[in-house]
Amino acid sequence: GAVVSQHPSWVICKSGTSVKIECRSLDFQATTMFWYRQFPKQSLMLMATSNEGSKATYEQGVEKDKFLINHASLTLSTLTVTSAHPEDSSFYICSAPTSGRRTEQYFGPGTRLTVT
Amino acid sequence: AQSVAQPEDQVNVAEGNPLTVKCTYSVSGNPYLFWYVQYPNRGLQFLLKYITGDNLVKGSYGFEAEFNKSQTSFHLKKPSALVSDSALYFCAVRDISGNTPLVFGKGTRLSVIA
């Protein structure tokens, strides 16, 4: 099956700094990628839809100025958590659908962010 | 709007016994239904999906799920549970368009006891 990678797999940063998380589709092109957030023992909540060549679409309640998304190519989307705070500590997961109507979505392994 | 309900936070089963993890859904049209498994600090692993066709879907690691349109359910099953099946299981739904995100249930933690 298709492979989606995320980098880094885990990161610890100080409060007030920014962190960039990369999501790559390794063997297919993805015009759309999705960013999810998962708090401990909770479900995945969609944060935003990343669209190649255009602005991301954010879900209600997600601060677009805080969570910057850039989908610069057909294989790479980045999520930057700006001015991170401890409450931003979470597990961030991206997914990318393959093309076609009956597509399959492939998930990255996730990035554990801890803000101290 | 689409939604998925997993009524059980936790399911405990003895090793070797059959297991069922429940899921019900709500969609406006035909559903595309999925089951994923998540191990601690790991991403999601795809188990199986229902798009169309046979109501009984077979997936990875011996899991299967039965699509029941009248009951709007898509319960995950396995005839004989293994300790290694202990994990967090998510049911998810999306609409027919491929470029739409999945809507996840809250998850059910399965604990298989030796």
Q: Answer yes or no: do A110 and B49 touch at CB < 8 A.
A: no
CA distance B32 to B29: 10
Which residues of chain B are within 8 Å of residue A108 when distances are taken between CB atoms?
A: 43
Residue from B49, B51, B60, B99 to probe the interface with A (highest A Cβ count within 10 Å):
B99
Q: Answer yes or no: do B43 and A109 touch at CB < 8 A.
A: yes
What's residue A102's pLDDT? 53
User: Minimal Cα–Cα distance from A109 to chain B, Å?
Assistant: 4
Q: Answer yes or no: do A98 and B98 touch at CB < 8 A.
A: yes
Position B2 confidence tier, pLDDT thresholds 50, 70, 90: confident
What's residue A1's pLDDT? 64
- pLDDT, tens digit (0-9, with 9 covering 90-100), for B27-76: 888 889 999 999 887 788 889 999 888 899 999 999 999 999 999 999 99
What's residue B51's pLDDT? 86
| pLDDT in 10s for each residue of chain A, 116 residues | 678 999 999 999 999 999 999 999 998 888 899 999 998 878 899 999 999 888 999 999 999 999 999 998 999 999 999 999 999 999 999 999 876 655 678 899 999 999 99
Residue from A5, A10, A43, A92 to probe the interface with B (highest B Cβ count within 10 Å):
A43
Min mean pLDDT across A112-116, B9-13, B77-81, B100-104 is at B100-104
What's residue A15's pLDDT? 97
Q: Give the nearest chain B residue to A103 (CA atoms).
A: B98
- pLDDT, tens digit (0-9, with 9 covering 90-100), for B13-38: 999 999 999 999 998 888 899 999 99
Q: Is B97's pLDDT higher than 70?
A: no
What's residue A14's pLDDT? 96
User: Residues B82-105: what's their mean pLDDT?
Assistant: 88
Residue from A44, A71, A101, A114 to probe the interface with B (highest B Cβ count within 10 Å):
A44
Which residues of chain B are within 8 Å of residue A49 when distances are taken between CB atoms?
A: 101
Pairing type for strands B19-21 and A76-81 reads unpaired
DSSP per position, chain A: ---EEEE-SEEEE-TT--EEEEEEESSS--SEEEEEEE-TTS-EEEEEEEETTS--EEPTT--TTTEEEEEEETTEEEEEE-S--GGG-EEEEEEEEPSSSS--EEE---EEEEE-
